[in-house]
Amino acid sequence: MKKTKWLITATVGGLLLTTAAAGADSIAERVDGWLRGDVNITIDGETTGLHPVYIDGKAYLPVREAAGAMGYNVNWSKERIALEQEEGQPVDEEEEALLQLSGVISSLSKTDDGYRLEVLGHGTNQWMVLHVDEETVVSDSDGNAAQGAALEEGMRINAQYGPIIAMSYPGQSHAASIEIVGETLVREDAAFTVEQGDDGWQLQFAELQDSEFKPVLTLNGGKETLLITAQGTPVDWHQIVPGTKVKAYYGPMMTKSLPPQSPAHVIVVQDEALNIDQDTVDKFRDIAWELVPEQELEHLQTTKEEAQISWVSPELTSIMPADDDAKQVIEDVTEQGGQLISALYATDQDALLGPLQIVMHPDTGELLGFFIRM
């Protein structure tokens, strides 16, 4: 009978490994968690003897006992946990469903039993750490078998992983299979121009030639292009302006025009103003949504969950204060050299007016004003 085997990579914050024999005191001493004996766990309607430990509001279960209750054997080795279905247990095809990710290897490092890949791309998750080992099936675009050693930073791949993902950011999982699509070119530079056209966006890079900057490369971006910060949060094209530092994965095909043009696969925006932790992003997405003017709601093309949250320097932007009190706050923050929080929404009026940007106080969430639109 076919057996299911899941491989998990353990992370400091992602998995709590203990046994039912461990006392609540020892657990609390190590991770400051609380054993809840009054909470019972049921599996398929049957009560188990498992009780969760709560850490920072999240419930954790002992791996070995929880796996056993679900019909799996657990094997632990260094930083790896293997869950293998016990003999005679039925295979649940839904449980075996793997997740997909098509993207670029942004980082690669050797591990004791394989390779650790950071992948940016399109799929259920846009940023993942995938672990490749002897269990991973690696192939080229023609379906021919390949080795993990053939993987390189900058490669485009199609990956299947999961279905278990370690609770970390980015998520970590075992790569079941990887198809090597091809190479990409990488350029780390500041944007020279950024323009919107009928078919998408064009980002140009320039170099100093004969005492003036001249365009040397044009990248074409569209819906297939992933725009993301170094911390994995999405970026809107409007947030890339001349001078914004980016790391672009593109090509390798290029036109013979001057400057040459090439499709952009992934663009990592390295502007510190956009690098905000996910908890802060979620918080200000909720706040900003309540501050969207009612008359603007019908024009929004960005959902609440897609709003672009970033830091803004008031002395470098044109802000229309919400009222006199807000004007004074903006002046005080400017004088102190501080920053404010902005939420950007794309609208169906962008070509005429530009996007809607709401400005908030970073400590209170108070509405301070709006970016001046055309």
Tens of pLDDT along 299-313? 998 899 888 888 887
Residue 93 covered by a domain: no
Q: Are residues 11 and 66 located together in one domain of the fold?
A: yes
Residues 282 and 367 in one domain: yes
pTM of the model as a whole:
0.61
Q: Do 191 and 178 share a structural domain?
A: no
Among candidate residues 56, 85, 114, the one where a domain is terminated? 85
| Claim to verify: residue 213 and residue 229 sit in the same structural domain | yes
**How many CA within 13 A on the CB side of residue 60?**
26
Q: Is 91 within a domain?
A: no
Residue 231 has pLDDT above 80, yes or no: no
Domain assignment present for residue 129? The answer is yes
Domain that holds residue 150: 99-182
Q: Does position 134 have pLDDT exceeding 80, yes or no?
A: yes
Residue 189 and residue 176 share a domain? no
Mark whether 67 and 142 lie in a shared domain.
no
Residue finishing a domain among 153, 182, 211: 182
Higher pLDDT, 283 or 73: 283
Number of domains in the chain: 4
Q: What is the pLDDT of residue 164?
A: 78
Q: How many CB atoms lie within 10 A of CB 326?
A: 18
Cβ neighbourhood burial of 325 (10 Å; 0-12, 13-18, 19+): exposed
User: Which residues lie below 8 Å from residue 331, measured CB to CB, with a gap of 6+?
Assistant: none
Is 288 in the same domain as 342? yes
Q: Write the pLDDT tens digit of every residue in 139-148.
A: 998 889 999 9
Same-domain pairing of 291 and 366: yes
Do 60 and 118 lie in one domain? The reply is: no
- In terms of domains, do 297 and 264 share one? no
Question: Of 182, 203, 230, which residue sits at a domain end?
Answer: 182
